[in-house]
Every structure is written in structure tokens, then in C-alpha cells.
Amino acid sequence: MEGETHMFIKEADLVNLDEATELALALWPDNDLLELKEEFREILSSNKDKVFLAFFKQECVAFAHISIRSDYVEGSTTSPVGYVEGIYVKPKYRRMGLSTRLIAEGERWAKSLGCTEMASDIEEDNTDSYAFHIMMGFKEAGRIIHFIKDIDDGDKER
């Protein structure tokens, strides 16, 4: 593919903070831009997190946030585990192999820290993300239903 010579992956740093945050906001649009930027500032200084950016020519078009989790990860048999916290490719640049390259870079980093497994999670109804994970070689490890209960007003009758 001719365009492949124009694609490259690099680790994000504070110079790329705005670009990484904008991509993350596209993935998680319900977040506040300034709060997300501060969160990514902390992520970029963490030794248990990496953000990888994909560029097409000189434009930042995709990101992957990979973490190292030492707590129990559903379906894993080892610890620590590499974890895909988020991955996003701008629509115009999908199906060009960028996500595959981002995941591979994340796997290399996780492996360098002793991980032998990668994990991830999705919302149950996110069929696009489900198909993406299967395509990337992940297999479903289980399903969990989360519950929440409001306990603010204990005087309410049930």
C-alpha cells in the first residue's frame, strides 16, 4: 500500500497532549475536555500507562491507551496483564491497519514489562468494538452485569 510509508506510530508525550486528548474525546464524548486533558497529563507521566499515537503523514489520526494492571483481570491467568483502556482511529483513516499497529506496539510494551496476556473490555451493546476485538485476536472471557443503587436518601420507602 502506497500510503503505508506515510504511517508511523510513536509514544505520546506532553508535546502531543492536545492531540491525544482530542482523539480521546472523540472516543469518550461525554467527558469534559479540560478534565480529560488533565487525566491524560497524569497518564503520560505514569509508568503503568502508555499512549501510542498513529500518524498518517504528519497528522495524528489514532491513539491507543495501554495500561498494566496488577489487580485481577477477568479471564486472565497471569499478572500483570496488559490492558487496552481505549483505542480510536478517525473514521477517514480506518481499515488502513493503524489499530493493528497500535495494538502490536502496546503488546510489545506490555511484554517488555513481563506481561503474557492482553485484556480489554467493551460495553455490551458495542457491536463495532466487539467485532474489532475479535479481529485483533481477543476472545470473550465472560460477561458481567454491573449493579448500582442510590443510597443517598435512606428514609425512602422501598
In a 10 Å sphere around its CB, with 0-12 CB exposed, 13-18 middle and 19+ buried, how is residue 2 labelled? Answer: exposed
Cell numbers representing residue 133 in the block = 476485538
Q: Given the C-alpha cell 460495553, which residue does it identify? A: 123
Confirm if 116 and 108 have CB atoms less than 8 A apart. no
This prediction's pTM: 0.83
Beta strands in 12-124 (DSSP E): 49-56, 59-69, 81-89, 118-120
Task: Give the pLDDT confidence score for residue 153 in this predicted structure.
Answer: 65
Domains and CATH numbers, the chain: 2-135 (3.40.630.30)
How many other CB atoms are there within 10 angstroms of residue 64's CB atom? 26
First CA to last CA across the chain, in angstroms?
A: 63
Task: Give the pLDDT confidence score for residue 128 in this predicted structure.
Answer: 85
Q: CA distances (Å), 33 to each of 80, 91, 123, in order?
A: 31, 20, 22
Per 3-state DSSP, what percentage of the chain is helix, strand, and coil (rounded to 5)? 35, 25, 40
Task: Give the pLDDT confidence score for residue 154 in this predicted structure.
Answer: 59
Please provide residue 2's backbone torsions phi and psi, each rounded to the nearest 5 degrees: -60, -40
Spell out the per-residue pLDDT of the chain, length 158, in tens. 444 568 899 999 999 999 999 999 999 999 999 999 999 999 999 999 999 999 998 899 999 999 999 988 888 888 999 999 999 999 999 998 999 999 999 999 999 999 999 988 888 888 888 888 888 888 888 777 767 767 876 565 55
What is the spatial distance between Cα 64 and Cα 84, in angstroms, rounded to a whole number? Answer: 7
